[in-house]
Amino acid sequence: MSQTADNTIRSIYEAIDRRDVDGAMEFIDDKCLYEDLNFPTPFQGKAAVRKLFTKSCENIPKDLLFVIDDLTSTDPLAVGVVWHVELNGIPIPNGRGVSFYRFSETTGKLIYARDIVEPPIKPGNVSFIIIRLISPLVRRFLSKQPKTKQTQPVVALFLWLLAGTYLYILLLSPPGQILPGYPAWAIPPDTLKEVLGESINFFFILPIANAIGIKLMEAPEIHPVSQGFFNFAEAWIFMFLPLILADRRGDKLPKIPIWGMAMFLTNVFLTPYMALRAAQPIPETEANKQKDILARVFGWIGLIVGIISIWWFCFAGGPEFGNLTTRMQYFVTQLSSDRVTIAFSIDLILFYIFQIVLMGSVVEKMSWLRFVPFWGLIGWLIL
């Protein structure tokens, strides 16, 4: 090698910061494999790496620079780098990264690279729960152990694909690509304010408290159609907890944490739970856990909130929100333009399907109730 590996890396970074692709390519081996984990597939060969460097230099501002914070220098053929990105001398939030580079013993040029960029979304402790969720899937589909006949791997795989599709289309897809409205990473302030307001008015506790004279905090003003629809969906997922707890097939799964995330974060977590459940062995006996007072309490709460939600949707808020026809027109407009409303509508469809599946496993008497959306679950919980 004409220079040390760490100095070569510095030279590559300096060339990229100058937008000098040819200068950077002087240090790249013809057989280089470059893994930038922002992309789904690696870049194989010098021509592919040149395309990566060219696109990077053409699509980022000229005053955006990659700044090396630290790098190793003891290995003549391998270098680890800690770096960050600056714009006009200002460090960019979520702009840190680490990289590993290996050089060829024969040519002295870069033969392998891997870049890892700081993720914009940091789940924190939730990441441990996610690992627990995907571990059964990894064991089921990636291990070489024979699959038991008592599981439903095809159903589990379909549900995982459904969960991934849900996540991308409803939460991550760019505006107008598939659905109208904005993805989770670009929610407008007005939409975020409305979602926060709906959450603060959870189960109508605060609006009702204000109405009877308790004014510790003013309830946010939300369109009654949106507020009623939101709380109806929340009441349905709320009543899933006793049903999930009664289902023996999911006994080895973290039921309460998953339900809690579906209830208080996003309903995207319920489909992965059903996928994990499908990968579990079917119990040898059909006996499920008996309902207790918790089931009846949840059923009555769901019944009360469900009735209030429908009334709120149709009549709450006064004449300025129009009659029932006007409110339905507002809902249809939201359904065609607002991604949050679309997401909750799809959630209700999934709730109905999962209610049929779970109640089919748990309910012995009056099993026909499982086919009655929302109210059938209330009937099983209360009766």
Q: Give me 304's structure tokens.
A: 């009360």
Q: Are 228 and 317 a contacting pair, CB within 8 Å?
A: no
Alpha-carbon span 46 to 140, nearest angstrom: 38
Pair (198, 284) in one structural domain: yes
* Whether residue 43 sits in one domain with residue 189: no
Q: What is the mean pLDDT of the chain?
A: 86
94 and 138 both lie in a single domain: no
For 107, the token pair is 């040519």
108 in the same domain as 61: yes
* pLDDT reading at 198 higher than 90: no
23 and 160 together in one domain: no
Are 175 and 35 within one domain?
Answer: no
Give me the domain span that covers residue 132: 126-382
DSSP 221-265: ---HHHHHHHHHHHHHHHTHHHHHHH-GGGTTS-HHHHHHHHHHT
Q: Give the total number of structural domains in the chain.
A: 2
Q: Is the pLDDT of residue 143 over 70?
A: no
pLDDT at 1 over 50: no
The total number of residues shown for the chain amounts to 383
Residues 113 and 135 in one domain: no
CA nearest 7: which of 52, 56, 71, 63? 71
Mean pLDDT of 177-202: 82
Domain boundary residue, one of 67, 96, 117: 117
Strands 28-36 and 110-117: parallel
Residue 94 belongs to domain with CATH number:
3.10.450.50
Same domain, 308 and 330: yes
pTM: 0.61
pLDDT band at 284 (very low <50, low <70, confident <90, very high): low
* 106 and 132 share one domain: no
Q: What angle do CA 262, 264, 267 make, to 5 degrees?
A: 30
Q: What is the largest CA-CA distance in the chain?
A: 82
For residues 77 and 65, the answer to whether their CB atoms sit within 8 Å is no
Structure tokens, 202: 């959870």
- Are 77 and 137 within one domain? no
Domain final residue pick, 82, 117, 152: 117
**What pLDDT, on the 0 to 100 scale, is given for residue 266?**
75
pLDDT exceeds cutoff 90 at 29:
yes
Three-state DSSP at 291 gives: coil
The predicted-structure confidence for 101-133, as pLDDT tens digits, reads as follows: 999 999 999 999 999 988 766 666 766 766 766
pLDDT for res 151: 62
Closest CA to 141 of 238, 27, 279: 279
Domain stops at, among 117, 141, 164: 117
Same domain, 286 and 143: yes
Instruction: Give the residue ranges of DSSP H helices in the chain.
Output: 5-17, 21-25, 46-59, 126-142, 153-166, 189-200, 205-211, 224-238, 240-246, 255-264, 270-278, 293-315, 324-337, 339-362, 375-382
Give CA 190 to chain center in angstroms. 21
pLDDT of residue 152: 78
Q: Give yes or no for a contact between 53 and 16, defined as CB atoms under 8 angstroms apart.
A: yes
Summarize the confidence of residues 17-36 as an average pLDDT. 94
**Is residue 147 domain-shared with residue 172, that is, in the same domain?**
yes
pLDDT value for 81? 96
